[in-house]
Structure 1
Amino acid sequence: MKKGKQVSNDNEPPTYQEATAGYGEMEAQFAWDDKNIRRTFIRKVYAILMLQLSVTVGIVALFTFCAPVRFYIQTHPSLYMASYIMFFATYIALSCCGELRRQFPWNVMLLVCFTLSMAFMMGFVSSFYNTKSVMLCLGITALVCLSVSVFSFQSRIDVTSCQGVLFSLTMTLFLCAITISIVVPFGYVPWLHATYAVIGAILFTLFLAFDTQMLLGNKRYAISPEEYIFATLSLYLDIIYLFSFLLQILGGGRE
């Protein structure tokens, strides 16, 4: 008896196993590539952020410790207004113009102008506070930033999903600011200003955790690796505002 000869049909569609062969390797390769891109993105953001903070700390130290510079700055408040206008203009350009902040070298130029203007403003404000208070607030800010970074890298808590809490605290801070602006002309209320500063410090500590987890990209929401300028801008502002609110809480006026 002759064995039947198996006839193959070239027109038959491939089986599921044949169609998905190699898919696992491709998926693993894509996941590895995404991790590499995210790591490069994180390194780039933190490198730029360290440069920004170094410039800011240097200018704050100059305005705080150098008496002639401090006197000149305090007697020329128009320089503060000019830096504020530059800060506002560059912030609007970087925040609202997506194409501009992704276009080199305009994004770097705007970021440099933004950093210098913000550093000048913080140096001007710090010059009115006691030197020990400024150094204490710098140290506390550094410790808080380190703690928040470690928390964001290690914790399973998804801060990016707590947008309602951040919005509520932001509205509370906004209402406190309005209340202070109304009350101050009739007399300074220390406890009201202290409450405002404490809420602000807590809010921007949470914002720092929120933006750090957005940067890491391992939670519900993440920021695109193309937006390294915007990510740097967000983290820098969180740290600067945290320092300014701590300075309002712990800072003592100059004698």
Structure 2
Amino acid sequence: MATKIRLKRLGRRNRPFFRVVVMDSRKRRDGAPIEELGWYDPIKRDGDNYKLKVDRILHWLKDGAKPSFTVRNLLKKEGLLHRWHLIRQGLDEQIIDQEMQKWSMDREVRMKDKAEKTVAKAKEKVKEEAEVKAEETVVEAVAVEKEEVAEEVADPMADEIEKDAEAEAEEPKAEAEEKAEEPVVEAVEEEAVAEEVVEAEVEAKEEEVVVEKEEVTEEVEEPAAEAVAEEPETAVEDETVETETAEEKQPEKEAVEEVAD
């Protein structure tokens, strides 16, 4: 039977947890295992996130079990692959223990170096972040200074621009007001012209009436004047007649007086 040392998934959604098991390579991943050889927690970061049964793993390796890729990395981290390599070379247990001690010491040194490198990287990262922040603050300060200088320089220009803008804005308003006043002025002028025309017509009519009145008065006065002029003439004629009759009667009167005498 071909056996394989691999992981069996447990846990819940988004929170995996694995068992290191030996099972038939033909079975599915979460099938029934032959034996459990440890556990592995990929979520855990602090401390050891795995635990292995070294003796039982070596036993199954001797029986021909093949580790999966992830299990192989765990065995390498634990040093089991190095021990299995020494066992396959046929070395004595004492020599294997000595080699494993050397491997443990080297591993401690490597882990220490790794930790120091990690700390150094963290310090460098913090230093870089501090430098970046310092540069940003300097850039911001320079930008603020430039803005202040630009504002100081731009204030007069801004005032001029505002004045120009106000003047430009007032020009259309003035034009609009003028355009709005033009019809009113034209209407007033038209009204004044109409009034003048009406007044002229009224005056003309009044003059015509006066002329007509004068003509009527003249026509009335002419017959009266003629009548007045004729009255003296009739009076003169009457006087002449009277004088003539008196003169005619006077001889008659004288003749009568003479007869009487």
> TM class, shorter-chain normalised?
under 0.3
Report which structure shows greater RCO (CA 8 Å, sep ≥6): 1
Q: Greater CA radius of gyration, 1 or 2?
A: 2
TM-score by length of 1: 0.21
